[in-house]
Amino acid sequence: MNSKRAEILKSKYMTYTQSDTHIKFWMVVRSVIFFCTCLFISVASSNDLSGVWKHSERTIWIKITTEKGTGVIVRNDRFPDSVGRTFMTDIKAKENHPNVWYGLAYIEKLKDFKKVEISLAEAKKMLITGKMSFLSRTVEWTGFDKLPALE
């Protein structure tokens, strides 16, 4: 009789455990689907760095092409001779960080390319941050669909 009772308890326990495992399995599946959906939405809604950008304080316009990994000056009202020069190069997306890129930007005062981090704070707002030792500077750029005509 004890073995029969033990068998009944064992079958009830196994049923409970299997049911509990089944519920946990579906919770994990739902969590994975939710995570993948969120990831897909963030990738799908992530903004592209490619396009025309204007310096927030100066009349300098650059065109960034992420496929080529470059940014070229397309308009500079103060120094028109700089048009066509490469402003940024080696632009690459940062892994596992949507809307963040790294590259090299030409710093006129230093006459050299320096490492920068490029991020999109909003759809049409790009921030380029350069660091040298313990100093850092961030410049804001505004995105445009195309280069505006000269006024």
Reported as a single tens digit per residue, the pLDDT across 75-89 is 999 999 999 999 999
Reported as a single tens digit per residue, the pLDDT across 124-133 is 899 999 988 8
Residues 58, 20 share a domain: no
Torsion of Cα atoms, 118 then 121 then 122 then 125, to 10°: -50
Is residue 97, in this structure, part of any structural domain at all?
yes
pLDDT at 41: 44
Residues 35, 56 share a domain: no
Q: Which domain holds residue 97?
A: 51-144
DSSP-assigned beta bridge partners for residue 104: 89, 115
What percent of the chain has pLDDT above 70? 69
Residues 81, 140 share a domain: yes
Is residue 150, in this structure, part of any structural domain at all?
no
pLDDT at 45: 39
DSSP-assigned beta bridge partners for residue 87: none
Rounded distance between C-alpha atoms, residue 121 and residue 111, angstroms: 28
Residues 83, 25 share a domain: no
Residues 56, 41 share a domain: no
Instruction: State if pTM tops 0.75.
Output: no
Other Cβ atoms within 10 Å of 55 Cβ, number: 15
